[in-house]
Amino acid sequence: MNDVKTWYMSKTIWGGVVAILASCANLLGLEIAPEDKTGVVDGLTALSAAVGGLIAIWGRISARSRLR
Q: What is the pLDDT of residues 25-52, one digit of tens each?
A: 888 888 878 888 888 888 888 888 888 8
Q: What is the pLDDT of residue 67?
A: 67
Q: Could you give the CA distance from residue 68 to residue 62 in angstroms, rounded to a whole number?
A: 16
More confident residue, 49 or 67: 49
Q: Could you give the CA distance from residue 9 to residue 11 in angstroms, rounded to a whole number?
A: 6
More confident residue, 27 or 4: 27
